[in-house]
Structure 1
Amino acid sequence: MPKIVRKGAIRPDASTIAEAVARPWDVTGLRVSFAALDPDELARPVTSFLIRREVDDDELPIHQHRKGQLVVAAEGSVMCRTLDGLRIVPSNGAVWIPGEIPHSVSMSDNGRAYCLFITTGVSPLPNACATFSINPMLREMIFHLANQPPLYPLEGPTSRLAQVILDELAQMKAEPLHFPVSSHPRIQRIAAQLLETPDDRRTLKEWAAAVAMSERSFARLVLKHTGMPFGRWRQQLHIVMAVQRLSMGATVQAISQELGYDSPSAFTAMFRKHMGQPPRRYLRDRTEVVGD
């Protein structure tokens, strides 16, 4: 298992801390996001700050926080890797990561995201990672909170705004944007190959032979460790990857080719079946919100 880093291990001097808590956080670069101050140490029920991704930024290494973390994609897409799989959300989507869950986060080039750190127990958010759709009102409140100092007064408008945000978070709509991966070596091996070559159209029988298993045993293994039949599991990866590519401006035709579909209509039919909308409408409904 990769080394897990507790964020906030960098301890700045007192003057740096004083400056950091006296103004809003607006951070360029994923790796310096927590260099000024550890969000776990902020004695507030919820704090919010903006992260801007530079083109050459790397994915943050696996780390964890004591507080829960909600990463809201403002522009582009956000990808979160955890020990149980991969989650990707487009603009106005969010990934929820409960406290003490090892994870890594990355954004698409020149993306923007808002990170909320939420004290455990102050909001009825799930105990497991999840993806959500953020409504326009909640989105604007999160953006506004990010423009306030992280140590805002415990009494006053900002404190009341934070409480309303917590109330609204409890009403968020879950989105099925999770590609499950277990710790089983064969499942991890196949998942890695599918991520590397998502247009691989080998059949269940061919994949079973590739991992030296019978077709029936392989089918049972995938269902046991992912909760899905193999074909549905592969489609789930395609949905997650398609949402990311749509957020980056790719056409449906290009995505269908990248994922190995015979035609854009075949890909669109698969996407509509599982997401309830064709790809472009799905993305449009989640990005047509009040401007920043």
Structure 2
Amino acid sequence: MTTRPCLLVRVLVPGVLLSPNSIIILFQGLLRLRASDSASDDVGASHGAKVALSFTARNDKNVRESDNRHMAIVARSKFAKDVERASPFVVALARDDEQGFVIEPQKHTRAQLLYAVEGVMRVRTPEGMWIIPPRRALWIPVDVEHSVTMLSPVSMRTIYIDAKRAKSFGEACRLIEVSSLLRELILSLLEEPLEYALDGRGGHVAELILIEITRAPQIPIVIPWPRDKRIVTICSTLMENPGDQRSLEDWAEVAGASTRTLIRLFQKETGLHFRHWLQQVHLAEALSRLTHGDSIGEIARRLGYASPSAFTTMFRRTLGVSPSQYLQHRLR
């Protein structure tokens, strides 16, 4: 059975967590037992009846899967509203999503630190795009519209911060490093009830989370996103295939514009020259692949660099460290 996107929600039994999927599976098990009992009374059914039953079963399966998706969406929506209305200044949310699942554009009355302990996400706002592997998180200010695409199965463990407390963190999205301490603090807050006591363990953990966000190193990688359709076509293709080696002259033919027009549009729409914009895409892809354990040579090849040393030079020039040094720093 395909795992459906879901939130972790508390049931009435104290200390027990069940997901909507778990509840659905329990009911489906009962339905299968009941269907099995009914089937035993129909052993002598004709071949035509069996075909009809098979067709009906397939239809029932499609209905059940549709119901499952609906129940998961309802659970997510309800819990998201609970998070928005919660009284503590920091609240945590856990959810698991399949590869390819998309959270449609939304915005919150709280700021959000979007983080996943496993998996890679792509986040898009009206201003730009970010690739977020584990050990990195995206700070999203209050009322910033954003969508999220799961590039792999994702275990999201994200937090929401009261608007007043979030003011000091700025009004622009930014990518940060997640230290081992910040990771454990987020997981610790998830152990607390939604309405935890501010003068208890939950309140102290929440205060430490804010301190760690303040101290977190910022990663200078953002992929500014254009609005002009001609540039969007080029950027979308390069996001799907960062190693595409076509020159700006080649892209001019695809976009139906002159090379000079594309140069002007890239600068106007993204604030970067085409080469610098593509470099940001390469860095985002490289950090994601380093997290997955790809070798420097394999990453260089996939991104179209002539050699691993050429890729390392670009990486060091932008981030100040080599890929191997960056990875060692992250794992400490």
TM-score bucket (shorter structure): 0.7 to 0.9
**Structure with greater helix share of residues:** 2
Which structure is larger by alpha-carbon Rg, 1 or 2? 2
Deviation at 1:17, TM superposition (A): 8.4
Distance 2:242 2:16 in 1: 40
Distance 1:260 1:24 in 2: 50
Is the contact between residue 122 and residue 132 of structure 2 (CA under 8 Å) also seen in structure 1?
A: yes
Match of 1:160 in 2: 204
- Match 1:34 to one of 69, 73, 76: 76
Distance 1:279 1:35 in 2: 40
For 2:328, give the aligned amino acid: R
Deviation at 1:18, TM superposition (A): 7.7
Match of 1:119 in 2: 162
CA gap 1:217/1:28 in 2 versus in 1, 3 angstroms: farther
Which residues in structure 2 correspond to 1:1-292 (within 5 Å)? 19=11, 34-37=76-79, 38=81, 39-54=83-98, 56=99, 58-123=101-166, 124-286=168-330, 288-289=331-332
CA gap 1:118/1:24 in 2 versus in 1, 3 angstroms: farther
CA gap 1:224/1:25 in 2 versus in 1, 3 angstroms: farther
Distance 1:138 1:222 in 2: 37
Q: Give me the TM-score of the superposition, normalised by structure 1.
A: 0.81
Distance 1:25 1:79 in 2: 28
For structure 1, list consecutive stretches of 5 or more residues without a partner in the other structure.
Answer: 1-15
Deviation at 1:88, TM superposition (A): 1.3
For structure 2, list consecutive stretches of 5 or more residues without a partner in the other structure.
Answer: 1-7, 22-68
Q: Give me the TM-score of the superposition, normalised by structure 2.
A: 0.72
Secondary structure of residue in 2 paired with 1:62: strand
Q: Deviations over 1:232-259 (max 9, x none)?
A: 1111111111212222222222222222
Match of 1:4 in 2: none
Distance 2:15 2:215 in 1: 29
Q: State the number of aligned residues.
A: 271
With CA pairs under 8 Å and 6+ residues apart, which has the higher RCO, 1 or 2? Answer: 1
Distance 1:61 1:23 in 2: 32
Deviation at 1:104, TM superposition (A): 1.9
For 1:134, give the aligned amino acid: V
Distance 2:135 2:146 in 1: 20
CA gap 1:221/1:27 in 2 versus in 1, 3 angstroms: farther
CA gap 1:206/1:17 in 2 versus in 1, 3 angstroms: closer
